[in-house]
Amino acid sequence: MMQEVIIATKNPGKVKEFIRMFEPHGIKVKTLLDFPEINDIEETGQTFEENAILKAEAICKQFGQMVIADDSGLIVDALNGRPGIYSARYAGEGKNDEANNDKLLAELLDVKEQDRSARFYCALALALPGKSTITVSGECEGSILFERRGTNGFGYDPIFLITEMNRSMAEITPEEKTQISHRAKALQKLEVKLPNLF
C-alpha cells in the first residue's frame, strides 16, 4: 500500500510513537525533523481538529504526498477544558514540559481528588493530494495526580493517572502506551479508513 508517510511533527516523543505504530505495516515514517527547511505552521485553529488539518494540508501541498498531522493536548474539567489546544505552550512559548506540569499542578493545588478528572485528546488529519482530508480523534480518560509519577513518556504523562490502570502515563511501558493512548486510539480509527483511500 503506502511506503512512506510524512508525520507533521518535530516532537521526538510523538515521532517514536508513530514509528512504533507504522513499522509493523512496512511504512517508512519521515517527520519534520527530516525537513529542516519547513517553517513552523501557525496553529491558528480554535480546535484540535482545525489545527491538525491546517498542518496536514499545508505540508501535503508542499510535498505532494501523504501527510498525517496530529494536534493533541490535555483537557482538565476543573479548569474549564484548559490547557486544551494550548497544552504545549501552557507555561509560555518555550514548550517546556516541566514548566507546563508545574503550572498545572499549582492551579489544581486546592482541587480535591474526585474533582481532578481529565482526558488526553488527539485529533489526526490525513491529507492526500487531490482528495478530501480525513480527520479522526481519540481520547484517554484519567485524572490529574498531586505529584509526578514515573519516568517514561513526555509532556503531561507523569501527572496523568490512567483510570483503568491506576498508573500514570509515565509509569506504563511504551508498548502499553501504544495500546491505550489517545493517539493510539485515533490511529486505530485511521487504520480502518486507510484501505478505502486508494
Which CATH code for domain 4-197? 3.90.950.10
C-alpha of 68 from chain center:
12
User: Beta strand pairing status for 67-76 and 4-7?
Assistant: parallel
Q: How many other C-beta atoms can be found within 10 angstroms of the C-beta atom of residue 193?
A: 11
Cα–Cα distance between 98 and 61 in angstroms, integer?
Answer: 35
- Across 55-68, b (16+ Cβ under 10 Å) vs e yields bbbbbbeeeeebbb
pLDDT tens digits, one per residue of 50-71: 999 999 999 999 989 889 999 9
Domain range annotation of the chain: 4-197
14, pLDDT greater than 90? no
* Phi/psi of residue 153, nearest 5 degrees: 75, -160
- Confidence at residue 197, expressed as pLDDT on a 0 to 100 scale: 63
**For the chain, what percent of residues have pLDDT higher than 70?**
97
71 is catalytic: yes
Structure-block grid coordinates of residue 192? 480502518
Which of residues 1 and 34 earns the better pLDDT score? 34
Structural contact between residues 101 and 157, judged by C-beta atoms closer than 8 angstroms: no
Amino acid identity, position 125: A
What mean pLDDT comes out for the span 160-164?
94
33, pLDDT greater than 60? yes
pTM, two decimal places: 0.88
What mean pLDDT comes out for the span 124-143?
95
198, pLDDT greater than 60? no
17, pLDDT greater than 80? no
Cα–Cα distance between 28 and 81 in angstroms, integer?
Answer: 35
Cα–Cα distance between 119 and 81 in angstroms, integer?
Answer: 9
160, pLDDT greater than 70? yes
- Confidence at residue 2, expressed as pLDDT on a 0 to 100 scale: 54
pLDDT tens digits, one per residue of 102-128: 999 999 999 999 999 999 999 999 999
- Confidence at residue 195, expressed as pLDDT on a 0 to 100 scale: 65
- Count CA atoms within 13 Å of residue 110 on its CB side: 0
> Choosing from 34, 40, 70, 71, which is the catalytic residue?
71
What mean pLDDT comes out for the span 161-176?
94
Of 22, 125, 127, nearest to 65 (Cα)? 127
